[in-house]
Structure 1
């Protein structure tokens, strides 16, 4: 009897990389995890090397009675479905796909930006809009006919604003101006000094400037910005309001480009700033969408994006609806994952 074809699903993020080996009938045979997938910092080869480590660390699940790990750690996959951070442009997706193939993962590799995994995991159908607001911010839309709307997502260079890191940078900017008198008073100054244990905001700025504190740590301020805003600070409140507006406009533009503004459409919200379900952010999003995209149905993702990468892989193989339902059941909150 022919063996079931195997999909290697990859969710490569800025903090960790998850992989799942999934059979064509929707069973999760094994899972693995490794470090951050950061091709824009480390290069494509190093980023795919992180996936190799995750594959080498595959741990069989309960459905894997007859499965044996592929040797030598990679290869043997009928399809690789990789949804990863840092693949913001088609040319970057293609370069990463070539690297996966060169490393022996198999000849059938599709690399997509990680927003595609969020959309497929959170939406009830293969189409809709997804907005991720975690360390950074990005969005993608897919129409029922398969047309795609997306953004370069290169930060301020390409018009982006917000995400945890961007929000923290803005908070630090306002805190510095509040401290030296150029800006309005704000409790963000106290947030900055208390969180990082400095006497002044200027002291923290100099720590960052001279490299004694890594700028990647700034995103740690993001939860505190929400707390300061909830306490009534007008400066912090304005930042959260602007962030809600950015999330909304990304979704609105995707819907408009795809001709879906007047069509009931799921908009999947993911990333730490949105899945935290902050009450202020939630109320602002409800207000903004009611005004700008009233036919949108907001869905906060409650399943891991690796599910989306795996579903895209199964669909690539032409798997049955039963197989996709079995896979989804594994990752649903009441499932076994």
Structure 2
């Protein structure tokens, strides 16, 4: 029986799955970043190939790989990104055919029971995409603040640092985030932290790692931390509503999927804010987190690309064989 490969390549990690055409997943691999925007196309290719080799090694099979679906952060602009990435994935030599999708589409597929819906991704960065009942696909640019994007772990963490600095110098309200950022960088006071961030540019790489602590501080009742979570929760809802309107889904039943590490943050404040924002626009929508990690969506897309309907027994076999670490709790 022929095989398919699904790959989810993001800014920090890459996951790969190998599946038979009957839906059974038989191999899983993982490695570092898979987005060429991080450090160029060759390092990204190396990480993607490593994850696939791990998955194929675990599968211990010799069957031909019919198709690989590569859901990649950085697959944003037509035709430039898609030509570059399609050629690069062909060069890996792991599949007869290659399909490149934006990673937001895999996030959507991992969370929906229908072939249409909307997905907002907040991992390190932000993106969003949707598919209409007629198959129309829409996305945001997903390239950052000046492209209209607001969200992701990096943005939430920078907002926390912003408010901590303002609390220190008197321009903002007192907040527990001040101590949180000091502890995060191991600084004794805000002056030392400021010098660290200014003189040691590598220290800036730790900013996104602060995001989970913002959620925890919000759960402790800190007003400033709560305002940050509310702000980004509302923005996720606003972004989802824009996709919903563009696709004409206002009166439909569908899944509105909130994917990415940010939505794993402690508490319900962000998800409740998203639901409150989406409900007036699409009252029949179900705002959910994905059933699986996005790589499972990628392998579902791969199966569908070779004509396999991921329903019934195929869906049951896939669900039964998903590795436990790829199931959302």
Question: Residues 97 and 252 (structure 1 numbering): CA distance in 2 closer, same or farther, change over 3 Å?
Answer: same
Distance 2:325 2:221 in 1: 37
| TM-superposition CA deviations, 1:100-147 (whole Å, max 9, x none) | 112323452111111111111110012111111121121110012110
The alignment's TM-score, normalised by the length of structure 2, stands at 0.91
Distance 1:50 1:78 in 2: 21
**Other structure's SS at 1:57 match:** helix
The residue that corresponds to 2:111 in the other structure is 122
Distance 2:51 2:15 in 1: 7
Distance 1:56 1:323 in 2: 24
**Could you tell me whether the CA contact under 8 Å between 1:307 and 1:328 is conserved in 2?**
no
| TM-superposition CA deviations, 1:233-253 (whole Å, max 9, x none) | 222221111111111011101
Segments of 5+ residues of structure 1 without an aligned counterpart are 71-75
Q: What pairs up with 1:276-287 in 2 under 5 angstroms?
A: 276=265, 278-287=267-276
The alignment's TM-score, normalised by the length of structure 1, stands at 0.89
Query: What displacement does 1:203 show?
Result: 2.1
Query: What displacement does 1:230 show?
Result: 2.6
The residue that corresponds to 1:73 in the other structure is none
Of 29, 36, 46, the match for 1:32:
29
| TM-superposition CA deviations, 1:57-109 (whole Å, max 9, x none) | 23555xx57x23x8xxxxx5211101122222233133111111123234521
| TM-superposition CA deviations, 1:24-53 (whole Å, max 9, x none) | 222223222221213112212321121112
Of 301, 311, 329, the match for 2:320:
329
With 112-121 and 223-232 compared, the bigger mean Cα shift is at 223-232
The answer to whether residue 257 in structure 2 is matched with residue 260 in structure 1 is no
With 237-246 and 46-55 compared, the bigger mean Cα shift is at 46-55
**Could you tell me whether the CA contact under 8 Å between 1:48 and 1:96 is conserved in 2?**
no
**Could you tell me whether the CA contact under 8 Å between 2:237 and 2:273 is conserved in 1?**
no
The answer to whether residue 98 in structure 2 is matched with residue 105 in structure 1 is no
The answer to whether residue 46 in structure 2 is matched with residue 55 in structure 1 is no
Of 77, 96, 114, the match for 2:65:
77
With 138-147 and 107-116 compared, the bigger mean Cα shift is at 107-116
Question: Residues 334 and 168 (structure 1 numbering): CA distance in 2 closer, same or farther, change over 3 Å?
Answer: closer
Question: Residues 203 and 89 (structure 1 numbering): CA distance in 2 closer, same or farther, change over 3 Å?
Answer: farther
The residue that corresponds to 2:157 in the other structure is 168
**Other structure's SS at 2:7 match:** strand
**Other structure's SS at 1:100 match:** helix
Query: What displacement does 1:335 show?
Result: 10
The residue that corresponds to 1:132 in the other structure is 121
Question: Residues 263 and 33 (structure 1 numbering): CA distance in 2 closer, same or farther, change over 3 Å?
Answer: same
Segments of 5+ residues of structure 2 without an aligned counterpart are none
Distance 1:57 1:188 in 2: 40
The answer to whether residue 143 in structure 2 is matched with residue 154 in structure 1 is yes
Distance 1:165 1:258 in 2: 29
**Other structure's SS at 2:207 match:** helix
**Could you tell me whether the CA contact under 8 Å between 1:265 and 1:296 is conserved in 2?**
yes
Query: What displacement does 1:185 show?
Result: 2.2
Query: What displacement does 1:12 show?
Result: 1.1
The residue that corresponds to 1:275 in the other structure is 264
**Could you tell me whether the CA contact under 8 Å between 2:8 and 2:70 is conserved in 1?**
yes
Query: What displacement does 1:219 show?
Result: 1.5
Cα RMSD (Å) of the superposition? 2.4
Distance 1:133 1:254 in 2: 15
Question: Residues 257 and 300 (structure 1 numbering): CA distance in 2 closer, same or farther, change over 3 Å?
Answer: same
Distance 2:165 2:231 in 1: 20
**Other structure's SS at 1:58 match:** helix
